[in-house]
């Protein structure tokens, strides 16, 4: 065709918001497997508190998309029991701060049952919803639970950044035979990302436990998950103007953690900076630093690893204080320069 004067071009990638990517994933999995159902507060008639489940109740009805009372302990328990009985529930928390109401169900029931039953009882369930800081919602709605849930054996924990992450990880989580905690970010829901032709397929899944290198670099490794991945890419652009090339790794999965990708990058760059919205003590960054120190990549470090984290305080309400509690691009730039001693 090119010889005859026609231009052959691959289908262009399209712009999709994280909200729409999650909606697509839920729609496709509800259609694919009749055992899948969604439950949570306002997910049905109201189309979801964040409009993630928009249109699904009208399409699939009351048995597949279920509004629940405001009782996380109750509906999480119903979902865990349903999973044990062979269904594949997707349990939405309006914010992961309120998953604390259901912590007994998530940990003592979902996470431990397969192990304690010697594999005879599976719990294929997804707990999902917004995690970490939003905007102007203070301490009761702003905590990051990546370290909490990543600490617990029996769970898989994923933390998407882009629209492709959101779609591919949610579909993989629903299909997984283990309980999965999916930590989304409210501030990302309305953000559009480029979605490749491959990601638009109904069979597109992202393997749980595999990180993605979002930007290649040679001077320092930046490791992050969820919304701070975008901050890392912005910081990398700023630093590139000063001759510093950052390699940016999007973890995607907190547990199991893809430490091999991080190690390979550190061997190349000889410097490590971790970035997260959560608190510093026992955090995701602390785990990454410990794993690097204990492994073969430690011998390649030319300077101590540096962590960029949220401030060690409950989230304030005032915007100026909130901004100072959450890692900003300038904080990442400062940390990189500290690591490189420039």
Residues of the chain with CATH 3.40.50.970: 16-200
Contact of 247 with 222, CB cutoff 8 Å: yes
**pLDDT single digits (tens) 316-337:** 999 999 999 999 999 999 999 9
21: left (phi over 0), alpha (psi -120 to 50) or beta: alpha
Residue 2 has a pLDDT of 45
State the span(s) of the chain assigned CATH 3.40.50.920. 212-340
pLDDT at res. 11: 61
Q: Any idea what the Cα angle at residue 178 is, between residues 264 and 282, rounded to 5°?
A: 55
The answer to whether the beta carbons of residues 26 and 52 sit under 8 Å apart is yes
pLDDT of amino acid 10: 54
Distances (CA, A) of 125 to 22, 47, 117, 187: 16, 21, 17, 25
Is position 225 annotated as part of the catalytic site?
A: no
Distance CA 166, CA 182 (A): 9
* Predicted structure pTM score: 0.94
Mean pLDDT estimate for the chain: 96
CATH 3.40.50.920 assigned to domain 212-340? The reply is: yes
Give the tokens for residue 180.
Answer: 């999965």
| 28, 29, 41, 141: the active-site residue | 141
Q: Which of 41, 72, 247, 263 is catalytic?
A: 72
Strand partners, 253: 158
State the SS3 of the chain: CCCCCCCCCCCCCEEEEHHHHHHHHHHHHHHHCCCEEEEECCCCCCCCCCCCCCCHHHHHCCCCEEECCCCHHHHHHHHHHHHHCCCEEEEECCCHHHHHHHHHHHHHHHHHHHHHCCCCCCCCCEEEEECCCCCCCCHHHCCCCHHHHHCCCCCEEECCCCHHHHHHHHHHHHHCCCCEEEEECHHHCCCEEEECCHHHCCCCCCCCCCCEEEECCCCEEEEECCCHHHHHHHHHHHHHCCCCCEEEEECCEEECCCHHHHHHHHHHHCCEEEECCCCCCCCHHHHHHHHHHHCHHHHHCCCCCEEECCCCCCCCCCHHHHHHHCCCHHHHHHHHHHHHCC
Say what the pLDDT of residue 13 is.
84
Domain 16-200 CATH superfamily = Thiamin diphosphate (ThDP)-binding fold, Pyr/PP domains (3.40.50.970)
CA-CA distance, 288 to 292, in Å (whole number)? 6
Q: Which residues of the chain have a pLDDT value below 70?
A: 1-11
Around Cβ 330, how many Cβ atoms within 10 Å? 11
pLDDT digits (tens, 9 = 90+) for 269-311: 999 999 999 999 999 999 999 999 999 999 999 999 999 999 9
**Residue 245 CB neighbours (<10 A):** 14
> Are the C-beta atoms of 193 and 164 separated by less than 8 Å?
yes
Instruction: Tell me, yes or no, if 72 is annotated catalytic.
Output: yes
Token digits of residue 212: 């993605």
């Amino acid at each position: 065709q090119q010889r005859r004067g026609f231009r052959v071009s691959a289908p262009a990638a399209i712009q999709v918001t994280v909200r729409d990517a999650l909606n697509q994933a839920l729609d496709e999995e509800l259609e694919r497997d009749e055992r899948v159902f969604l439950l949570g507060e306002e997910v049905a008639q109201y189309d979801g508190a964040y409009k993630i489940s928009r249109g699904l109740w009208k399409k699939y009805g009351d048995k597949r998309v279920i509004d629940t009372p405001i009782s996380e302990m109750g509906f999480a328990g119903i979902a865990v029991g349903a999973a044990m009985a062979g269904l594949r529930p997707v349990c939405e928390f309006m914010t992961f701060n309120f998953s604390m109401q259901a912590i007994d169900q998530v940990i003592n029931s979902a996470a431990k049952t397969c192990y304690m039953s010697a594999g005879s009882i599976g719990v294929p369930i997804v707990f999902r919803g917004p995690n970490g800081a939003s905007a102007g919602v203070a301490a009761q709605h702003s905590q990051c639970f990546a370290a909490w849930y990543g600490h617990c054996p029996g769970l898989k924990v994923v933390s998407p950044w882009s629209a492709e992450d959101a779609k591919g990880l949610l579909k993989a989580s629903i299909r997984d035979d283990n309980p999965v905690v999916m930590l989304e970010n409210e501030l990302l829901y309305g953000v559009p990302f480029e979605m490749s032709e491959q990601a638009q397929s109904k069979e597109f899944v992202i393997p749980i436990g595999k990180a993605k290198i979002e930007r290649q670099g040679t001077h320092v490794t930046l490791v992050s998950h969820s919304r701070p991945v975008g901050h890392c890419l912005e910081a990398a652009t700023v630093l590139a103007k000063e001759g510093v090339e950052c390699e940016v790794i999007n973890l995607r999965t907190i547990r199991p953690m893809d430490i091999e990708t991080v190690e390979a990058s550190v061997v190349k760059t000889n410097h490590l900076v971790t970035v997260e919205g959560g608190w510093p003590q026992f955090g995701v960054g602390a785990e990454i630093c410990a794993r690097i120190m204990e492994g073969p990549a430690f011998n390649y470090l030319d300077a101590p690893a540096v962590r960029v984290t949220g401030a060690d305080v409950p989230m304030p309400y005032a915007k100026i204080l909130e901004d100072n509690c959450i890692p900003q691009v300038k904080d990442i730039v400062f940390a990189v320069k500290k690591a490189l001693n420039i």
